[in-house]
Amino acid sequence: MKKSILLNAIILIQILIVPSFCSAQKFNDLALTPPMGWNSWNKFACDVSEKLIKEIADAMVSSGMRDAGYIYLNIDDCWHGERDSLGFIHENHERFPSGMKALADYVHSKGLKLGIYSDAGTQTCGGHPGSRGHEYQDAITYASWGIDYLKYDWCNTGELNAKEAYISMRDAIYSTERPIVLSICEWGTYKPWTWGAEVGHLWRTAGDIVDCWDCELGHGIWTSNGIMKVLDMQKDLRQYAGPGHWNDPDMMEVGNALTVSESRAHFSMWCMIAAPLIAGNDIRTMSKETKEILTNTEVIAVDQDKLGIQGFKMFDYGDVEIWAKPLSNDEWAFCFLNRADKPNPAELNWKENNIYDDFFHKKAEFNKQTYTIRDLWAKKALGTTDETFKTIIPAHDVIMIKIVPKK
């Protein structure tokens, strides 16, 4: 009882005093490159448990995903038990019998970080207790458990102001003094890219993704979208992204119902637009092809480039698109995307297509500089930019290359 009274007193002091003696903010030294990890929702939805999370942690290590950069292991909705008489949230003890603190310790022992989920409304999307009115209590609880990442959803929020609701959780997290990545998940409804950089570390730019190439699935009052439709929703957003603040087109469906080609294209385009790389498949049983896609360190390096510049569509020929992304050291990545159901040719005459990225002040003048070309999926050299680049792109697939100034 004394402990509960003390915790309530601490919360009250934080609510009343913290804003007056320091300027609450997010932790600015987190997510300097797009966060990488795994999330339970796309594959398991509400079927989460301590056993599952431990097995995923083990698989992240044994599969090589951790060493490839996937650090955050994120538990999505439905981990919740009930709030106690003082308003503190508890884990579901049947699903998580050892408790969340013990699970966090296990995850940390594997060289990983643990993420968790809550909602700005009264209930989560799955009908469990949301954080509205309990932001400081929940932040203190998460910090005491050793949580490193919070996905904060937007169900059951009524007339709440989105920016203010996310600021409330941001301030609560900051008051705990534990660095926690804040993932703003309000689906792009209130244009979080215009205010999210000062509030969180990433923000959803669209509704939920689904594991199909170019479909749209209706769910009554909302829809989920396939890979290409989500990609199209990223138009005109690149200027808002950068180190510590990222556009988030949603978690990946690589290795779920997509074909190998579609998974490769999906992964490549997420890397081209500097998206968070949050896997959503069952990595315990993934195929060799899925593992090779998710752990291709050359493609991952495009996503994780320290400049943090989101790529852009250079040419649009309907079924075929050519995307470009500036990288460090005057290097560039290019992705030739084939949206069609059949193979398509593509070519790029470098000498006639100098690139000027006026927003980020980057350029490639191919009439003055020769670059070497490397195929990032075939992992082989492809000549130089002195010759026109010609290729055949398989259906629903990509050719992804990196060019490096020739010395």
Residues with catalytic annotation? Answer: 153, 208
Helix axes 2-21, 135-145, angle to 10 degrees: 110
CA contacts within 13 A on the Cβ side of 215: 10
Q: 202 near 187, Cβ under 8 Å? A: no
Specify whether the CB–CB gap between 153 and 123 falls below 8 A.
Answer: no
Token pair 């479909």 in the structure block, residue: 215
The tally of CA atoms less than 13 A away on the side-chain side of residue 247 is 29
Taking the C-alpha atoms of 116, 304, 375 and 399 in order, what is their torsion angle to the nearest 10 degrees?
50
Pairing of strands 80-83, 149-153: unpaired
- Which of 211, 248, 249 minimizes the C-alpha distance to 232? 249
Residue whose token pair is 């919360």: 11
Residues 273 and 247 sit within 8 Å (Cβ to Cβ) = yes
Sign of the C-alpha dihedral computed for residues 223, 235, 378 and 319 taken in this order: positive
Helix extents (H) in 253-329: 260-272, 288-294, 297-303
| Angstrom distance (rounded) from CA 238 to CA 189 | 17
Helix (H) or strand (E) holding 169: helix 162-176
> Are 209 and 281 within 8 A, CB to CB?
no
Q: In what order do the strands lie in the sheet with 72-74?
A: 246-248, 202-204, 181-184, 149-153, 113-119, 72-74, 36-39, 277-279
